[in-house]
């Protein structure tokens, strides 16, 4: 009969520790360094690609041509933004062929500049806000 802890159990008060090979720290450091360099060097291109894919939202208040009486909450409409020079952020949307305009909060998913005309699928969320995704 033996007294004391079993040979394969840690002393009291200390959790068991996994054995970690010394070279795994070097591999982790190399992977972290490569990731950091990639993000710094390719950051703008990566952001632009993600933005063009519609993963980054852009929210702003803008003028929207829409008949408020014909667009109920939860309904979708096709809207368009127009090309303008010099290229800038979108400042207006046309969702109906009307002269009735409203200043509304719009959340865009996708590139929101005036480089070219863009078609959007927009959903009215509230009385004064909606979200639009590139078609």
User: For 19-57, how does the pLDDT look when each residue is reduced to its tens digit (9 = 90+)?
Assistant: 656 566 788 888 888 888 777 777 777 777 777 777 788
The pLDDT of residue 131: 93
Count of structural domains within the chain: 2
Q: Are 86 and 37 in contact (CB under 8 A)?
A: no
The predicted pLDDT at position 44 comes to 75
CA 4 vs. chain centroid, Å, equals 58
Residue 1 belongs to some domain of the structure: no
The rounded distance, in Å, linking the Cα atoms of 36 and 56 is 21
d(CA 71, CA 73): 7
What pLDDT, on the 0 to 100 scale, is given for residue 49? Answer: 75
User: Are both 93 and 41 inside the same structural domain?
Assistant: no
Domain span holding position 106:
57-134
So what's the pLDDT on residue 23? Answer: 65
Q: Which ranges of the chain have pLDDT less than 70?
A: 1-24
Q: Are 35 and 80 in contact (CB under 8 A)?
A: no
98 in the same domain as 64: yes
Backbone region of residue 110 per phi and psi (left: phi > 0; alpha: psi in -120 to 50; beta: other values): left
Q: Please name the helix (run of DSSP H) or strand (run of DSSP E) that holds residue 81, with its range, or none.
A: strand 76-81
| pTM confidence score | 0.62
Same-domain status, 83 and 98: yes
pLDDT value for 5 = 56
């Amino acid at each position: 009969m033996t007294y004391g802890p079993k040979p394969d159990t840690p002393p009291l008060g200390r959790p068991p520790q996994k054995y970690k090979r010394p070279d795994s720290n070097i591999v982790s450091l190399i992977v972290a360094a490569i990731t950091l360099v990639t993000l710094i060097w390719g950051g703008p291109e990566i952001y632009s690609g993600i933005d063009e894919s519609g993963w980054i939202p852009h929210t702003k208040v803008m003028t929207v041509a829409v008949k408020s009486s014909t667009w109920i909450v939860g309904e979708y409409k096709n809207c368009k933004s127009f090309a303008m020079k010099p290229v800038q952020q979108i400042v207006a949307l046309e969702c109906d062929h009307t002269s009735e305009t409203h200043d509304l909060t719009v959340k865009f998913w996708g590139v929101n500049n005036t480089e070219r005309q863009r078609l959007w699928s927009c959903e009215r969320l509230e009385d004064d806000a909606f979200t639009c995704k590139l078609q």
